[in-house]
Amino acid sequence: MTENTKQILDTVQELESVLSFSVQKSLGNFTWKERTHSVEEESGVFKIRFYSDGLNLAEKTAIESIIKENLGKNNYNFSVYFERKEKPATQPQKAPQAHSHSSEAHEHAKPQQKPDMRPPTGKRPISGVKRIIAVASGKGGVGKSTVSVNLALALYNQGYKVGILDADIYGPSVPTMLNIHKDPLVNENNKIIPPESFGLKVMSFGFFAPEETAVIWRGPMIMKALQQFFWDVEWGELDFLIIDLPPGTGDAQLTLVQSIPISGAVIVTTPQNVALLDAVKGIAMFRKTDVPIIGVVENMSTFSCPACGTETHIFGAGGADKVSEKFEVPVLGHVPLIQEIRAAGDLGEPLTSQPKHAVRMRFAEIAEKVVKNTLAMENKK
């Protein structure tokens, strides 16, 4: 253990004295110190390992925010990892009978199996929806919603029927980006009718929680609302449903990914090293849950000076290509950093809806690759 990791472990363990009664109660038979059992450093990120046996999602969320709140003040770059301390009980082995021949006794000895990461209850499809594509990023603010909206529109421009589900509880920006200001209605079958904009069917947390109340969404509520968005929305017949996932790779994302059959995931990143590390975490999460990676989109890759036209790699260059090479995932395209993209997002007039704009062409190419790669993956199955 290095001096830094020891210092962080001590700081986290000292939080025991500030835990609320409900958090203390959720710890059950373990003490806080037993649960916060180690800290490791990997490429400048401190991984705080926390035993989560017996904790539900809401309790884990509460614990994660206590740690984040307190360590965040010290400007450390860290993540909290929840893992199981006690191994799940294995099938009781039948003891070989006294009269067994030795060959019979061998029949009971099974080779050790790898843990099964698949959801226990199976995934439930969304009626009428042919393909679900998750758009994810390891961290917030890299342009995941911008890519989701423009990718959805680019697919629509190519003649597909497309819906977009804004599952980003922390900052549901899709309604603004698509200029939707009306609330969804409910039909006679009690199904929610998704508002339509620029030809896309849209559902978002933003319709139900204005920004100032977004904080009230907590683990179980999020899942309940998401389940309604999947199965109680009148999506109709769709070729593609694009899901703008919340940023990160925590429990909420995992649960979501494990609830529905996702055809593939698009990872959005910016070229900086820190963002790329997060992209790698995203890839790992999808691989763990058997969701194929359609590819990586590098956003804000170059800055084109509006005055002189010079291209600058503000955040570095070649990042997505490195991730692509190392993890054998295709690069779907590079989107430049331009003021017009930001303005179009704020105005609710996406550039992909405007004829002949260079950004529209960029996303058309990305969408073509998404379709091509998704079909190729389906054919491989």
Residue 114 backbone dihedrals phi, psi, to 5 degrees: -70, 150
Q: Site size for ligand ATP, by CB under 6 A?
A: 20
- The residue written with tokens 């950093």 in the block is 337
**Binding segment toward ligand ATP, per CB under 6 A, in 32-40, 87-95, 138-146, 253-261:** 138-146
- Token pair, residue 239, equals 């070729």
CA nearest to 200, candidates 259, 241, 250: 241
C-beta of residue 302 within 8 angstroms of C-beta of residue 311: yes
Cα gap 225→320, rounded to integer Å: 33
Find the part of the chain contacting ligand ATP (CB under 6 A) among 66-74, 144-152, 180-188, 326-334.
Answer: 144-152
Question: Does 174 interact with ligand ATP (rule: CB under 6 A)?
Answer: no
User: C-beta of 275: minimal distance to ligand ATP in Å?
Assistant: 10
Considering only 119, 140, 330, 348, the residue that binds ligand ATP (CB under 6 A) is 140
Among 23, 52, 143, 264, binds ligand ATP (CB under 6 A): 143
Residue of 355, 356, 342 whose CA lies nearest to 146: 342
Give yes or no for residue 173 binding ligand ATP (CB under 6 A).
yes
* Amino acid (one-letter) located at 13: Q
Pick from 89, 88, 86: nearest CA to 37:
86
Site pattern 78..117 for ligand ATP (x: CB under 6 A): ----------------------------------------
Using CB under 6 A as the binding rule, whether residue 204 contacts ligand ATP is answered as: no
Name the minimum Å distance from CB 293 to ligand ATP.
Answer: 18
d(CA 136, CA 252): 12
Residue labelled with tokens 């054998």 = 328
Out of 12, 136, 252, 300, the only residue in the binding site for ligand ATP (CB under 6 A) is: 300
| Cross-strand pairs, 204 | 166
Stretch that binds ligand ATP, among 55-63, 165-173, 196-204, 311-319 (CB under 6 A): 165-173
- For residue 158, the SS3 value is coil
144 binds ligand ATP (CB under 6 A): yes
Minimum Å gap between C-beta 362 and ligand ATP is: 10
Question: Minimum distance between the CB of residue 10 and ligand ATP, rounded to whole angstroms?
Answer: 32
Residues of this chain, 330-349, that bind ligand ATP according to CB under 6 A: 335, 337-338, 341-342, 345
Instruction: Give the annotated binding-site residues.
Output: 138-145
Q: How far apart are CA 48 and CA 247, in angstroms?
A: 19
* 247 interacts with ligand ATP by CB under 6 A: yes
Residue 85 has a CB neighbour count (10 Å cut-off) of: 14
Q: What are the CA-CA distances from residue 365 to residues 168, 194, 250, 342 (Å)? A: 25, 28, 31, 20
Cβ proximity to ligand ATP, 15 vs 134, nearer residue: 134
Q: Collect all residues with Cβ–Cβ distance below 8 Å to 158 and sequence separation of at least 6.
A: 364, 367, 368, 371
**Residues of each annotated binding site for ATP:** 138-145
* 168 sits near ligand ATP (criterion: CB under 6 A): yes
**201 binds ligand ATP, rule: CB under 6 A:** no
Q: Cα–Cα distances in Å, from 329 out to 214, 265, 325?
A: 34, 11, 7
Q: What residues make contact with ligand ATP under the rule CB under 6 A?
A: 137, 140-146, 168, 171, 173, 247, 299-300, 335, 337-338, 341-342, 345
